[in-house]
Amino acid sequence: DDTKRSLVQFMEQLLPADNENRNESWGWNMNSDPCADGWVGVTCDLHNQTVLKVILDELNLIGTFDAGSLCGARSLQVLSLNNNSISGEISEEIANCKHLTHLYLSSNRFTGQLPKSIPHLSNLKRIDISNNNFIGELPSLHKIPGLLSFLAENNHLQGELPEFKFTLLERFNVSNNEFSSQIPDVRGHFSADSFSGNPRLCGQPLPNPCDPSKAASKKWSTDRFLIYTGYAVLGSVIGLFIVYKIVSKSKSKDEETDDVEKAESDMDDRSIKMNAISGDDFKTSEHRSEYSMTSMDSGVAPAALVILNSSLVKDLKFEDLLRAPAELLGRGRHGTLYKVMIDNGGTLVVKRIEERAISSEEFKRRMLKIDQAKHPNVLPAVAFYCSRQEKLLVCEHQSNGSLFILLHGSRDDDSFDWGSRLNIASRIAEALAFMHKELHEDGIAHGNLKSTNILFNKNMDPCISEYGIMATENQEQPALSRSISFAKITPAQDHESDDILFKGDMYNLGVIILELLTGKMVQDGGLDLATWVHSVVREEWTAEVFDRALIAEGINEERMVNLLQVALKCVASSATKRPSAKEVSAMINAIKEEDERSIALETRSIKL
């Protein structure tokens, strides 16, 4: 209903010029459903539950673009409003459309600056804002890792043309604007056509070179600066030399330590520039990983890569990882994930963990502890790298995808039956119970359990990935506090007992079971799904909760209700009321046994 309301409010600001021609079939009102009733321009997922695209090209729309309302439909991936007469500015609230991959606003009457929040739309692949009246400077769009096209021709954009990852862009056009700077190095990827019509833009690939007098005056002042700095440095060196002579004997030991530290820090500085590479780029050999190290000839020992599973990556070195071609798999709240092909033909994933997610010391401590707790349904780390500036987790790539994809990707409904779902719930609960037991004393919970972190190994067994790589005590970070495991634990409770750390995982396990039962996608860390299920159950429409595929399979409702009860216990709003993973595992196993018994009975009665 929230999505519907958001869409209706958005459309209220965009009346078609020929409004009277709109008939009932247009939709976009509170009395109909955007998916089931096929609103004009709306495309939903296969289950008709989630709005994915809004495409309203050439519909004579006038009025203003209300990003605040539209982005209440958080699942939106494609927005296309090309060739209308929409005016006004795009508000910063566009950043709430965080799943947006395509933003097409070409040939309208948009004005104002592009919002500074656009770089937060990290999934964006294509932006087309051409033929509008946008003004001002461009935000730092190079921060969007997988951007493939940026078209902004025929606007009034000004100021310096910022850096873009030109080697990764397929299309780029800023012609006919008011940019005034030197063009950054486009590495031969785009011609003058992409930049023409900006009288104050200069340098390659445009024919007009940058003003040499400006360059000369800059050089003159640079020269002077260098001369004065030279005198200052010379003076300091002489002074320091005298001091050095006096204290050199007593310092000799300390210097050795400093050298090692400096070498490590040098390596960090030059090493990792993990930039996005699209799937297509990954295939072509000329696009080596952009985070390849350019010079590893410094003789610095890459001591910080700790190999935990040498059978998988014998002799893997830090520089092998950095040099290998990489493909961006995703950018989550806590880091960026790359798929990396190493020389021995293996495929790894490398998670580059955000600076703020966890401290280096804590990360290292956790990695070593977690490595000791091995369970067949927990994906082990192959290696980790930890220095002052970088934290990397290396795992084997699992090509069978995640539970999220199995549930929400395109599948024929028979393929994911009740038995498989129950089995997955049971395996995850069992694995979580094991990990909680092993790591309880060390206070290491998973911290970010969700269906994208349940991966299927080559035998299609579910495996929990990314166990424990987020520090739960980091509650003051706003981004982290949105994670449901933290959101559900108040700081006061957190101090009461260490157990509470693990109750965040239990909430998240409950949400995963709800996803398995309902087939519905989760937003806001599961709060929406839990609230929805509670409200349906309260109204005694319990049957409405279950995935239609399960109903179609003819599964006895009672069996599903038993599992639903378990999930609801896990998502109890009071953390202390949630059962432990061990208890959940026992409850699910009891349901499984009951299930197997009734199947055996059914088979017997059929035989009789």
Among 130, 198, 377, 448, binds ligand ATP (CB under 6 A): 448
| Closest CB to ligand ATP among residues 81, 381 | 381
Least distance from ligand ATP to the Cβ atom of residue 44, Å: 21
| Window 344 to 363, contacts with ligand ATP (CB under 6 A) | 349
Q: Is 337 in the site for ligand ATP (CB under 6 A)?
A: yes
Task: Return the range that interacts with ligand ATP (CB under 6 A); candidates 13-21, 54-62, 327-335, 364-372.
Answer: 327-335
Among 4, 142, 334, 366, binds ligand ATP (CB under 6 A): 334
DSSP codes, 357-382: GS-HHHHHHHHHHHHHS--TTBPPEE
Q: Is 120 in the site for ligand ATP (CB under 6 A)?
A: no
C-beta neighbour count of 403 within 10 angstroms? 23
Write the single-letter amino acid at 181: S
Q: Is 335 in the site for ligand ATP (CB under 6 A)?
A: yes
Least distance from ligand ATP to the Cβ atom of residue 382, Å: 10
Please work out the total of residues on this chain that contact ligand ATP, with binding judged by CB under 6 A. Answer: 18
Distance, CA of 133 to CA of 117 (rounded, Å): 19
Query: Which two tokens mark 532?
Result: 């929805």
| Closest CB to ligand ATP among residues 353, 501 | 353
| Closest CB to ligand ATP among residues 101, 453 | 453
Contacts of residue 536, defined as CB under 8 A and 6 or more positions apart, other chains included, come to 542, 544, 545
Tell me which residue has its CB nearest to ligand ATP: 332
| Closest CB to ligand ATP among residues 169, 381 | 381
Phi, psi of 327 (to 5 degrees): -125, 135
Among 122, 154, 452, 585, binds ligand ATP (CB under 6 A): 452
Q: Is 98 in the site for ligand ATP (CB under 6 A)?
A: no
Among 433, 455, 513, 545, binds ligand ATP (CB under 6 A): 455
Q: Is 512 in the site for ligand ATP (CB under 6 A)?
A: no
Q: Give the angle 194-198-201 at the CA atoms, nearest 5°.
A: 90
| Window 383 to 442, contacts with ligand ATP (CB under 6 A) | 395, 397-398, 402
Distance, CA of 358 to CA of 593 (rounded, Å): 41
Contact (Cβ atoms closer than 8 angstroms) between residue 384 and residue 493:
no
Distance, CA of 23 to CA of 447 (rounded, Å): 50
- Longest Cα–Cα distance in the chain: 103
Q: Going residue by residue from 457 to 476, which x/- string records binding to ligand ATP, judged by CB under 6 A?
A: --------xx----------
| Closest CB to ligand ATP among residues 148, 379 | 379
DSSP codes, 182-213: BPP--TT-S-GGGT-S-TT-BSTTSSSPP-HH
Q: Is 330 in the site for ligand ATP (CB under 6 A)?
A: yes
Give the DSSP H or E segment for 86. strand 85-88
Q: Is 289 in the site for ligand ATP (CB under 6 A)?
A: no
Least distance from ligand ATP to the Cβ atom of residue 203, Å: 37
Distance, CA of 255 to CA of 299 (rounded, Å): 18
Contacts of residue 385, defined as CB under 8 A and 6 or more positions apart, other chains included, come to 304, 305, 306, 318, 321, 391, 392, 394
In 462-547, the DSSP E strands lie at 462-464
Q: Is 329 in the site for ligand ATP (CB under 6 A)?
A: yes
Query: Which two tokens mark 475?
Result: 């509650």
Distance, CA of 140 to CA of 60 (rounded, Å): 32
| Closest CB to ligand ATP among residues 175, 402 | 402
Q: Is 16 in the site for ligand ATP (CB under 6 A)?
A: no
Q: Which residues bind ligand ATP (CB under 6 A)?
A: 329-330, 332-335, 337, 349, 395, 397-398, 402, 448, 452-453, 455, 465-466
